[in-house]
Structure 1
Amino acid sequence: MDDFELIYSYTRAQAIADGVLIDVTAQAKETGFTVPAAVTDHLFNGYIVPPPGLTGEGQSVEGRLHDTLWMILTIARASRESSRVETDVLFLMAPGQWEKVRVIAVIGPGDSGEPVLTIMLPGDD
């Protein structure tokens, strides 16, 4: 392996700076997580950010993110032996129209080998 030449590396910090990952560590810690957490831009912009027209329906980024984090935390606590969990989360997409979305959470190494949580949609990894 000493002859291995690294052609390109894309760090988690770069992904957060580029907006590919959205850092949600502060709210994740409030929910009960103990590691840095990020959500993919597809999940964040497609479901966490409420679609237009739902502000009067009590929908907010904070509330939708909290619900997603809570669902992941609940399933993760029941699956302590796994570094990957999946669950379905219901998102209100239009008045009276709910969408069930498969959400995946993975604990893996961060840029310095520390444990970090990444929450994503299928295909985002």
Structure 2
Amino acid sequence: MDDFNLIYSYSRAQAIADGVLIDVTAQAGEAGFKFHTVVTDNLFHSYITPPAGLEGEGQSIEGRLHDVFFVLLAAIRNSKAATDYAEFDVLFVMAPGRQEKVKVVAVVGPGDKGEPVMTMMLPGDD
């Protein structure tokens, strides 16, 4: 294994520093999750961040993250198998009176130092 040439390496820490992954560990902890947690920039900017004009509609990043974690917890509790992968649907308000059902994927895997970490993303973000 020592005879291979590493062409490029991109760590989770680098992806967070670059904004490719958004650290939501504090909010995950409030929901009861114990792992370092990130969401992809695509999920964050497309759905977690409320669209313009919804500020007065009770929409916030914190509230939308809370909803995602709540639905993930329900999916985990309803799962019949222990797994490191979950797919679940979340309804996001995208405009007054208009919701969009979005499939979200959560994966637990090894972090930069082998520790368990969770990443939430849209299908295809990996």
Fold agreement, TM-score > 0.5? yes
CA displacement at 1:5 relative to structure 2: 1.4
Q: Tell me the alpha carbon deviations over residues 23-47 of structure 1, each in whole angstroms, 9 at most, x when there is no partner.
A: 0000100001010000000000000
Q: Name the structure 1 match of 2:31.
A: 31
1:74 CA displacement: 2.1
Aligned residues: 125
Counterpart of 2:89 in structure 1 is 88
User: Aligned equivalents of 1:104 and 1:2: distance in 2?
Assistant: 34
Q: Does residue 1:65 correspond to 2:52, yes or no?
A: no
Amino acid at match of 2:92: F
Query: Residue 118 of structure 1 corresponds to which residue in structure 2?
Result: 119
Structure 2, unaligned runs of 5 or more: none
Q: Deviations over 1:61-87 (max 9, x none)?
A: 000011011111221234351110000
Runs of 4 or more consecutive aligned structure 1 residues displaced over 3 Å after TM superposition:
77-80
Q: Distance in 2 between matches of 1:90 and 1:15?
A: 27
TM-score by length of 2: 0.96
Q: Supply the RMSD in Å over aligned alpha carbons.
A: 0.9
Q: Alignment partner of 1:6: what SS?
A: coil
Identity of aligned residues (%): 67
Letter in 2 for 1:52: A
Distance 2:27 2:74 in 1: 15
Amino acid at match of 2:51: P
**What letter matches 1:58 in structure 2?**
G
